[in-house]
Amino acid sequence: MKRLHAFSRGAFLFACGADAEAARAFVVEDAAMHDLACLTVEPRQRLFACHQIVTGNNRVIGVRRFRSSWWTDRSTFSKLTVQLPADAKAGDRFAAAGDRVRMFHSSGSSAFAGKTGCYGVPVAGQITVISTGDSGIEIQIDASFRSTSPLEWRDECDAPTQLSERLKASPLQMQDLDAWTGAHDPDASPFDQAHPASRSRD
């Protein structure tokens, strides 16, 4: 069983050592997650398409993590995208697999984007709104995701992903989204969606 670690900041984080991790949590107002057709795109895009954000009537929260490695081909990414009602307020609780919210998680190799990794939607759990305001939104997520391999590699995604984390997301404007954070672009490459914009292909 895979378990994700808690994350409670809305800025980039960097760790010392051979590997380094950058993470960001953000919230986009008047937005929506890409429609459910995102689960039927070609296999290499299935880790990414549901993270794309479009104009809508909801509030979308994104968490993007990138772990770079001294070995370039060992860099990895992890993404979580959550759609909440626009009027969600402190104290509200939503069923993670209910019809009022949407959630999508994926992770895998950044160097071999779309060829390895797992993606999934929640099958159980809840989302609790801690606070909202001009500075963003804070939520607690406790959920279980059914994991799937985009290329149906045997045994790669058999274990469910368990997520328990408290997120504090800072505001981000729709026009400031890019391929990494979730700009809607059917032609965005798996590589660009698996790397922060500052990363190069070398």
Per domain, the residue ranges of the chain are 2-186
Report the pLDDT value the prediction gives residue 7, as an integer from 0 to 100. 46
Torsion angle (degrees, nearest 10) of CA 41, 45, 50, 52 = -120
State CA 57 to chain mean position distance: 19
Is residue 36 within 8 A of residue 195, CB to CB? The reply is: no
Comparison of pLDDT for 20 and 32, the residue scoring more: 32
What phi and psi, each to the nearest 5 degrees, are found at residue 152?
60, 40
Across 62-71, 79-88, 95-104, 105-114, least confident range = 62-71
Query: Token pair of 195, please?
Result: 């790397």
Residue 96 pLDDT exceeds 90: yes
Query: Token pair of 43, please?
Result: 């296999």
Q: How confident is the model at residue 115 (pLDDT cuts 50, 70, 90)?
A: confident
Comparison of pLDDT for 137 and 201, the residue scoring more: 137
Mean pLDDT of all residues in 90-116: 94
Mean pLDDT of all residues in 104-113: 93
Of 95, 102, 114, nearest to 153 by C-alpha is 114
Report the pLDDT value the prediction gives residue 71, as an integer from 0 to 100. 64
Report the pLDDT value the prediction gives residue 153, as an integer from 0 to 100. 78
Report the pLDDT value the prediction gives residue 155, as an integer from 0 to 100. 81
